[in-house]
Amino acid sequence: MLVTERAGRLRLVDKDGQLGKPIAGVPQAQVAGQGGLLDVAVSPTFAQDRLVYLSYAEPGEGGAGTAVARARLDAGKFNDLQVIWRQVPKVSGPNHWGSRLVFARDGTLFVTTGDRFAHRERAQDLATTIGKVIRINADGSIPQDNPFVKRGGA
């Protein structure tokens, strides 16, 4: 089982409950308030592709935002790390990140984003990714059958 630690570590827990060393190559998370390394999900085809997905608080200009990265897990380290989705613009505030990751049966990935507390009114604005459920393909591209894919400003 893979376990995230908000402080930025990802660890493997074996079947006997033994906690392994931190996995190397995890992206740098902004650890403040409720932010940090937030969720982990393995690819539905992990046995073949070894892909692991992480959500985390990503620092940037203007504050921080939720980001999703994926990498191949091999011998206790990540290889080929790539950010496949990031919240833009970054905003101030250390709370209400959301950041759950769930794969749908069709292989798309749902990412929840919190309202970030101080920006909660923006959750009703389709032009922002604050306070939303985001649906992306496993490579980060946008599915063409998303509900608002053809709506300008969404």
Residues designated catalytic: 96
CB atoms within 10 A of CB 139: 11
Torsion of CA 8, 88, 149, 138, to 10 degrees: -20
Torsion of CA 132, 136, 138, 140, to 10 degrees: -100
* C-beta of residue 93 within 8 angstroms of C-beta of residue 116: yes
Measured in residues, the chain has a length of 154
The residue written with tokens 């250390």 in the block is 94
The residue written with tokens 């749902």 in the block is 110
